[in-house]
Amino acid sequence: MNEKLKKGCGIGCGVMTILIFVIIGSIAFFVRDMSVDYKAVEKSEKALVMAHGGLVDFVPPAGGLPSAERVQTFLAVRELQAEWRLNVALAFDEFLVKKKNSDEGGFTHFLKLIRSTTEMAPSLAGFWSSRNSALMEHEMGPGEYSYIYCLAYFSYLGYDPGDGAQATDLDFSRNSGPNLTVSTDTDLTEIQRRDAAWGRTHDLMLPLLEATERTGLNLEPVEAQQWLAELDMEVAIMQESPLRYPWRDEAPRLLADAFRPFRKELEEQYNISVNPVELIFEMVKDEDKNKD
């Protein structure tokens, strides 16, 4: 190695060592936050699942039309999450600004991007913990909450399950166990992100609609017959289409009637950016559900 290279490395390599240390330190901090904060999420979700069952344990009663009382309970849960929902939206916004700057070049911008990831973890953990606590307080399980969320926002109000994945350019996926992947994979097209979200919503809702009780409807006989026919038709369509989510084109009248008195509150409590992480449950592994 010549003297110039040695001299240059003496200064430059020292800077790189510091920068690498800073990056590794940021990642370590992010992982530490994930470990501490997400243990609280796992604990709260385990208690919720033990008390009210998991996503697939919910059986929609009385034909599956949500009662006014349960919609009000759903809204009460969401109201308790409002501050954390805003925190997550702001964390996503900051991350995307930092990512754009990083993509344009500059190591300082890259470091700021790393830092923004450290701030995203506690926001997400706080959001999920507050949701789980609110659900416990109002005695609503993850299955019923997810069921009402999909019917209210996707079927009735017409929002797209892909909202957020498209709007924020972030992709969210879950493997088995408590693993969440948040990425900005530019190899995924907007349509691929949308289709993935539609498929997840289909896979969540089809078993719930299939399991819906066909008795005990609080409707006149003619209307009950009409609704059950609508329900059976939608189930048949979803069984044939893996990307179909319930009443994608338009909610039937009786379903719309169940949500119409609460439209304003539902609209106020929806956030496009946060939508992809709203229904992430099952952080508790199946083998852990029966452990103390």
Q: What is the mean pLDDT of each run of 10 residues along the chain (292 residues)?
A: 41 41 44 64 91 93 96 98 91 71 54 58 86 96 97 97 68 45 59 86 95 91 94 97 96 97 97 90 52 46
The reported pLDDT for the residue numbered 289 is: 46
Q: Residue for token digits 């070049």?
A: 105
CA distance 121 to 34: 6
Q: In this structure, how many other beta carbons lie within 10 angstroms of the beta carbon of residue 76?
A: 14
The reported pLDDT for the residue numbered 196 is: 85
| Domain assignment of residue 185, yes or no | no
CA distance 66 to 99: 41
The reported pLDDT for the residue numbered 154 is: 98
The reported pLDDT for the residue numbered 286 is: 45
| Domain assignment of residue 179, yes or no | no
The reported pLDDT for the residue numbered 125 is: 85
User: What would the pLDDT profile of 185-238 be if each residue is shown by its tens digit?
Assistant: 556 677 888 888 899 999 999 999 999 999 888 889 999 999 999 999 999 999
The reported pLDDT for the residue numbered 40 is: 84
The reported pLDDT for the residue numbered 292 is: 45
| Domain assignment of residue 107, yes or no | yes
| Domain assignment of residue 17, yes or no | no
| Domain assignment of residue 1, yes or no | no
pTM: 0.80
Domain with 251 in it: 33-158+190-280
Q: How many domains does the chain have?
A: 1
The reported pLDDT for the residue numbered 119 is: 66
CA distance 280 to 172: 9
Task: Return phi, psi of residue 157, to 5°.
Answer: -80, -15
| Domain assignment of residue 289, yes or no | no
User: What would the pLDDT profile of 67-76 be if each residue is shown by its tens digit?
Assistant: 999 999 999 9
The reported pLDDT for the residue numbered 100 is: 62
